[in-house]
């Protein structure tokens, strides 16, 4: 039910077939974040962060060689391993469809559904228009696709199968 008084927000949920510690690491390690942060059409080429309460983060997203990259940054508000990550999120410059300098708040919540199943919920609040909500929703969905792909490559190559300890080649694990 749409309520014009409710603040604009979005929420995206995915489940990944990996332990919660693995997904938490993907969300809190800059070496991992640079591989999945940013949508497919504007992936991160750098992710610099001081991942601790109050620490700053900044990502550079490329849109191709002929277009200027986008910078987005903020700082961490809460880090509660392995479940909750809260940070501010602000597009630098004046390309934000909601206007320059709009600061939103992003919450990432991880739940261990099973030993090898984690639900990741990403929420963002403080957006100012329905268009912006739609744009950011697609962006996060794309990020989560990229995260799934990165996790598959990163961890599928070293899964032990049964007692034989056979190393599974990339691309063969479902």
Contacts to another protein from residues 72-131, by CB under 8 A: 76-78, 80, 83-84, 86, 105, 107, 109, 121-126
Residue 37: CB minimum distance to another protein, A: 18
Q: Which of 55, 93, 100, 101 binds another protein (CB under 8 A)?
A: 55
Residue 143: CB minimum distance to another protein, A: 15
Residue 123: CB minimum distance to another protein, A: 2
SS3 per residue for the chain? CCCCCCCEEEEEEEEECCCHHHHHHHHHCHHHHHHHCCCCCCCEEEEEECCCCCCEEEEEECCCCCCCCEEEEEEEEEEECCCEEEEEEEECCCCCCCCCCCEEEEEEEEEEEECCEEEEEEEEEEECCHHHHHHHHHHHHHHHHHHHHHHHHHHHCCCCCCCCCCCCCCCCCC
Residue 100: CB minimum distance to another protein, A: 21
CB closer to another protein out of 20 and 70: 20
Q: Does 9 bind another protein (CB under 8 A)?
A: yes
Question: Which residues make up the interface to another protein (CB under 8 A)?
Answer: 5-7, 9, 11, 52-55, 76-78, 80, 83-84, 86, 105, 107, 109, 121-126
């Amino acid at each position: 039910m749409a309520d014009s008084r409710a603040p604009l927000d979005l929420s995206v949920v995915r489940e990944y077939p990996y332990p919660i510690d693995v997904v938490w690491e993907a969300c809190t390690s800059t070496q991992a974040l640079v591989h999945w942060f940013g949508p497919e059409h504007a992936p991160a080429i750098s992710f610099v962060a001081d991942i601790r309460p109050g620490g700053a983060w900044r990502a550079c997203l490329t849109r191709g060689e002929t277009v200027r990259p986008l910078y987005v940054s903020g700082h961490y508000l809460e880090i509660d391993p392995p479940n909750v990550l809260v940070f501010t999120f602000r597009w630098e410059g004046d390309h934000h469809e909601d206007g320059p300098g709009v600061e939103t708040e992003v919450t990432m919540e991880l739940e261990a559904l099973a030993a090898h199943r984690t639900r990741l919920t990403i929420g963002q609040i403080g957006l100012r228009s329905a268009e912006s909500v739609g744009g950011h929703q697609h962006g996060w969905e794309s990020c989560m696709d990229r995260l799934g792909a990165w996790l598959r490559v990163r961890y599928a190559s070293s899964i032990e199968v049964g007692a034989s300890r056979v190393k599974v080649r990339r691309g063969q694990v479902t």
